[in-house]
Amino acid sequence: MEQLLITGGNGFLGSHLAEGLHQAGYRIKILARNRGSDTPAPEFETVWGDIRDEAVVDHAVRGVDRVIHTVSNFRKGGSDKDQAHGINVEGTKVVLEAVRRHKVKQYVHCSTIGVHGSVLEIPATETTAFNPGDIYQQTKLEAEELVWEFTRHHCLTTTVIRPISLIGPGDTRMLKLFRMIKKGRFIKFGPCNAYFQPAYIDDVVEGFRLCLDNPKAFGEVFIIGGDEYVPLETLFTIIAEELQVKPPAIRIPLTPMLWAASLCETICVPLGIEPPLHRRRMSFFQNNRAFSIAKAKKRLDYRPRINLRESIRRTIVWYEQEGWL
């Protein structure tokens, strides 16, 4: 039985990958930062530590067959440049060095559709021009470039996956939106005609599984997610329908909020405070996220099973079970 290392194995995607790929027959090792209360799942081997720590990463990579690297400072919207670069780029470098040293059979790099930023070409594909819009997206792109450079120099077997916006049990990023819509307090900024495309977490895990030990995935980039995109206005209506409340009706212009977000970041980031409002959060209302998954369908026979409405429904059920809605 092959052993997989999943970095960030206690994160949203990482924990679903660990569970799903364990069920698919892999032995799982995870590398994770202990948040204090975390206890290791008995079915997984766990290495605690920071992705930037060479000794920790070397220990984690030693002896595994394949590595899936998901660690990122994703949730830290207002994080400073050094932190984003340190985790997303330098951290990736530390993992790549260990992958090379230990002659790992395959390196699967978790990137993001965010490297394309807000897309003009609809739907965008793996070859659409890069257009990263913030420090997170810029450093994710830098990491991808580093991965390919390293792959060429050291003849690694690499696959890059760019997941679309994840949704499903375990997600907390969309919770605020669902809550506000339920309470009738959600305010729409701007016209809300930008596209949004959710990717149900189990479908994304399946996309990763299909890339493992699959020569059709070696040296390739895949966009993985659901295949429906809708304008934000429609997304808000579907969420409201599934919550059985009225769709949000209040709308205010976007531009003043962008100024406020920028101001919040300028004040909070130097003080080490997570800004309550930041440009990345506001970019939700501006950025077009509409992607084609045709390549994954064709080469990997990838077929997402959970449609957009059902993704939302299942996410609501989970929020309710947690007592959050």
Ligand X SMILES: NC(=O)c1ccc[n+]([C@@H]2O[C@H](COP(=O)([O-])OP(=O)(O)OC[C@H]3O[C@@H](n4cnc5c(N)ncnc54)[C@H](OP(=O)(O)O)[C@@H]3O)[C@@H](O)[C@H]2O)c1
Residues that bind ligand X (CB under 6 A): 8, 10-14, 32-33, 35, 50-52, 70-75, 87, 91, 110, 112, 140, 163, 165-166
**To 10 degrees, the CA torsion angle through 70, 74, 76, 81?**
90
- Contact in structure between 287 and 133 (CB atoms under 8 Å): yes
Q: Where are the beta strands (DSSP E) in 33-128?
A: 45-48, 66-69, 106-110
CA distance 279 to 271: 17
Min dist. Cβ of residue 310 to ligand X (A): 18
Min dist. Cβ of residue 112 to ligand X (A): 4
Cβ-proximal residue to ligand X, closest one: 11
Min dist. Cβ of residue 140 to ligand X (A): 6
Measured in degrees and rounded to the nearest 5, phi and psi for residue 68 equal -110, 120
Min dist. Cβ of residue 9 to ligand X (A): 7
Min dist. Cβ of residue 255 to ligand X (A): 26
DSSP-based three-state secondary structure for 34:
coil
Specify the residue, 92 or 151, whose C-beta has the smaller distance to ligand X. Answer: 92
Min dist. Cβ of residue 250 to ligand X (A): 26
Specify the residue, 52 or 59, whose C-beta has the smaller distance to ligand X. Answer: 52
- Contact in structure between 286 and 120 (CB atoms under 8 Å): no
Specify the residue, 126 or 185, whose C-beta has the smaller distance to ligand X. Answer: 126
User: How are strands ordered across the β-sheet holding 27-32?
Assistant: 45-48, 27-32, 3-7, 66-69, 106-110, 158-163, 220-224
What's the Cα-to-Cα distance from 277 to each of 77, 85, 91, 264, rounded to whole Å? Answer: 9, 21, 27, 6
Specify the residue, 238 or 260, whose C-beta has the smaller distance to ligand X. Answer: 238
Specify the residue, 36 or 215, whose C-beta has the smaller distance to ligand X. Answer: 36
CA distance 292 to 144: 20
Give strand pairing partners of 124. Answer: 291
Min dist. Cβ of residue 87 to ligand X (A): 5
Structure tokens at 91: 């951290």
- Contact in structure between 1 and 27 (CB atoms under 8 Å): yes
Min dist. Cβ of residue 13 to ligand X (A): 3
Specify the residue, 131 or 262, whose C-beta has the smaller distance to ligand X. Answer: 131
Give strand pairing partners of 159. Answer: 108, 220
Q: Where are the beta strands (DSSP E) in the chain?
A: 3-7, 27-32, 45-48, 66-69, 106-110, 158-163, 166-167, 188-189, 195-196, 199-200, 220-224, 230-231, 251-252
